[in-house]
């Protein structure tokens, strides 16, 4: 596996173009299984996960092509079996369950893989499919769903840590072709869910309450092809913003959506960061002084769990004590031990990380455990004095388009070391 070698202490300066959202494009690609007609998806990021999803669609019988940032999919004929060898690579592949069940009235999908950040059960996905009239079983590591027909129903998708994003996506996609009306209570409100709903609407789906916790879906007999542009990646945007201010630099994000980043922008301002908005761009730089802050991850519109690790890297540079409480995933502090290797002072108390601001970090060799932890370690490495080597960076290639190239353009001393 490749690694990244970083020479720290260099402020980032310049502009960076924000790519399409990984967490939006994957369910949108899965939704193309709902129609026999071609679908064209623009602003798709060049990511390992996107290529994996295309391979999954092809294994199901669809044809796909990628031309720059445009993915074209046509699922004229599909089969109902999603194999373990592909699905195990990422959690997002689970979202083929709803479309397959809606289109074929049966689906066999392997239990998914992805980052090791805590328990992510499939119980709400199962609950959603059963509410539409399907019989669902777990057999030899596969989710097996069958029905003679899907019928609209009512479901509540609130879980232990709030609404389920992928579960909402699966339920919404399945309900588009169900007979009658489906009502989803406690639906996820993330921008990526809204983007999927807008794509489904462009295909001919009847969805009301988009962006709210209550979705009402009136099933239609069939959906048609559509053309759609994926929203910008709010997590990538937050990562570069934090990297800029953590390194004492100034970074301008091109194409970011501030309306998707309200909680992150609020916490950065609270910590002493200046945020300027002009002509569709967002610029981030430090103010006169930094301040410690307290952050709690919550479902949207709360502070996103996918920015928690990056924010922690920044908090090591703020004076005083900051507290980060993780309310979504119980095992999402695996980056703490690696940050301590760089000189961070962090202690874990239950669901909270107590971060003491330090004078400096020192370069060291560290190991990435998941996608966002990888990004946080890269940020910490750019802050640290000396050389840091971040190992096992395949996670980064799953979720960040050309991360090292974009950072180089901003002035970072970073290079990819092939293994």
Separation between Cα atoms, residue 79 and residue 270, nearest integer Å: 51
Closest CA to 33 of 95, 110, 124: 95
- Residue-wise DSSP of 231-295: PB-HHHHHHHHHHHHHTT-EEEEES--GGG-HHHHHHHHHTTEEEEEETTEEEEEE-S-----EE
* Catalytic option among 39, 95, 115, 189: 115
Distances in Å between the Cα of 88 and the Cα atoms of 59, 363, 402 are 14, 34, 24
Which tokens go with 314? Answer: 């920044």
- What is the rounded CA–CA span in Å between residue 73 and residue 303? 34
Phi-psi region of 224 (alpha: psi -120 to 50; beta: other; left: phi over 0): beta
d(CA 419, CA 416): 10
Query: In the chain, what is the straight-line distance between the N-terminal and C-terminal CA atoms, in Å?
Result: 5
Residue 54 known to be catalytic = no
Residue 407's φ and ψ, nearest 5 degrees, are -65, -40
Phi and psi dihedrals of 150, rounded to 5?
Answer: -90, 135
**Number of Cβ within a 10 Å radius of residue 304:** 23
Of 389, 265, 283, nearest in space to 13 by CA = 283
Tokens of 208: 């009301």
Give me the DSSP letters along 47-64. Answer: -HHHHHHHHHHHHTT-EE
Report yes or no: 192 and 21 within 8 Å, Cβ to Cβ.
yes
The residues annotated with a catalytic role in the active site are: 115
């Amino acid at each position: 596996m490749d690694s990244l070698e970083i020479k720290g202490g260099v402020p980032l300066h310049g502009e960076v173009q924000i790519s399409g959202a990984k967490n939006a494009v994957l369910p949108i690609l899965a939704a193309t299984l709902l129609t026999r007609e071609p679908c064209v998806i623009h602003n798709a990021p060049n990511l390992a996960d996107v290529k994996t999803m295309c391979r999954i669609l092809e294994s199901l019988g669809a044809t796909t092509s990628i031309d720059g940032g445009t993915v074209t999919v046509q699922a004229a004929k599909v089969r109902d079996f999603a194999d373990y060898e592909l699905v195990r690579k990422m959690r997002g592949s689970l979202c083929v369950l709803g479309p397959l069940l809606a289109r074929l009235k049966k689906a066999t999908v392997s239990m998914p893989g992805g980052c090791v950040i805590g328990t992510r059960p499939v119980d709400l996905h199962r609950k959603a499919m059963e509410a539409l009239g399907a019989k669902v079983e777990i057999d030899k590591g596969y989710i097996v769903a069958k029905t003679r027909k899907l019928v609209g129903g009512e479901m509540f998708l609130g879980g232990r840590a709030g609404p389920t994003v992928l579960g909402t996506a699966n339920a919404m996609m399945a309900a588009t072709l169900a007979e009658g009306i489906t009502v989803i209570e406690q639906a996820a409100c993330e921008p990526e869910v809204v983007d999927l709903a807008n794509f489904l609407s462009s295909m001919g789906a009847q969805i009301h309450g988009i962006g709210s916790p209550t979705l009402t879906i009136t099933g239609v007999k069939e959906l048609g092809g559509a053309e759609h542009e994926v929203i910008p990646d709010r997590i990538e945007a937050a990562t570069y913003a934090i990297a800029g201010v953590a390194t004492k630099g100034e970074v301008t994000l091109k194409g970011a959506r501030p309306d998707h980043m309200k909680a992150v922008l609020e916490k950065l301002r609270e910590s002493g960061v200046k945020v300027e908005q002009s002509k569709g761009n967002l610029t981030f730089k430090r103010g006169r002084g930094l301040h410690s802050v307290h952050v709690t991850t919550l479902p949207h519109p709360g502070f996103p769990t996918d920015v928690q690790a990056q924010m922690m890297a920044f908090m090591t540079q703020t004076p005083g004590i900051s507290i980060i409480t993780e309310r979504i995933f119980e095992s999402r502090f695996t980056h703490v031990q690696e940050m301590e290797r760089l000189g961070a002072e962090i202690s874990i108390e239950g669901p909270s990380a107590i971060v003491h601001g330090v004078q400096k970090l020192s370069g060291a060799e560290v190991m990435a455990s998941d996608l966002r932890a990888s990004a946080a370690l890269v940020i910490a490495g750019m802050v640290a004095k000396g050389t840091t080597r971040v190992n096992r960076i395949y996670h980064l290639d799953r979720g960040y388009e050309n991360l090292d190239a974009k950072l180089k353009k901003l002035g970072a001393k970073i290079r990819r070391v092939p293994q």
